[in-house]
Amino acid sequence: MTTAIDPLRFREVLGAFCSGITVVTALDADGAPVGLTCQSFSSLSLDPPLVLLAPARSSSTWPRIRAAGGFGVAVLAEGQHDVATAMARSGADKFAGLDWTPSAHGRPRPAGIAAWLDCDLHAEHDGGDHTIVVGAVRDLDVTDRAPLLYHRGTFATLRPAD
């Protein structure tokens, strides 16, 4: 028996779960940097090291990243709201004015991030209106910067517990 769930209520309830903000990047077939903002990101496995992310099926950027065969995941740092917003836009040059360098695997790595993972595309699965993407981690790095968070429809920052 299936219970009808109101999509707005579903979004409101899940908004109580705080998540980090990531940017998923690659170089497309023409060598141009492409990227998208993704808050649906998680670790999946330690052995082998796998992560998962879930881009929307409506994304015009994900097919370009998929075609690259791999991607970078930048965990955004506190104060990088502008990067999250730029990468969420559709039809614009998302990298205009963005400071980035190529990773060891050639993927665009934005400056000032909290952490970085370089991944090969491992698998894709149906996820309703999203695609569940599994990435095999090939390289990674972390900084001491605090992460940018998303909670109840807005950006947030981490505060130490009392």
pLDDT digits (tens, 9 = 90+) for 4-55: 888 888 888 888 888 999 999 999 999 999 999 998 999 999 999 999 999 9
Q: What is the pTM of this model?
A: 0.92
What single letter denotes the amino acid at residue 82? D
pLDDT digits (tens, 9 = 90+) for 133-159: 999 999 999 999 999 999 888 888 887
- pLDDT at residue 98 is higher than 80: yes
* Structure-block tokens of residue 158: 């981490």
Contact 77, 155 (CB under 8 A): no
* Structure-block tokens of residue 50: 């796998």
The pLDDT confidence band at residue 101, using thresholds 50, 70 and 90, is very high
- pLDDT at residue 1 is higher than 70: no
pLDDT digits (tens, 9 = 90+) for 109-140: 999 999 999 999 999 999 999 999 999 999 99
Residues contacting 23, CB < 8 A, separation 6+:
35, 36, 37, 38, 73, 74, 76, 83, 84, 87, 110
Contact 30, 97 (CB under 8 A): no
pLDDT digits (tens, 9 = 90+) for 69-91: 999 999 999 999 999 999 999 87
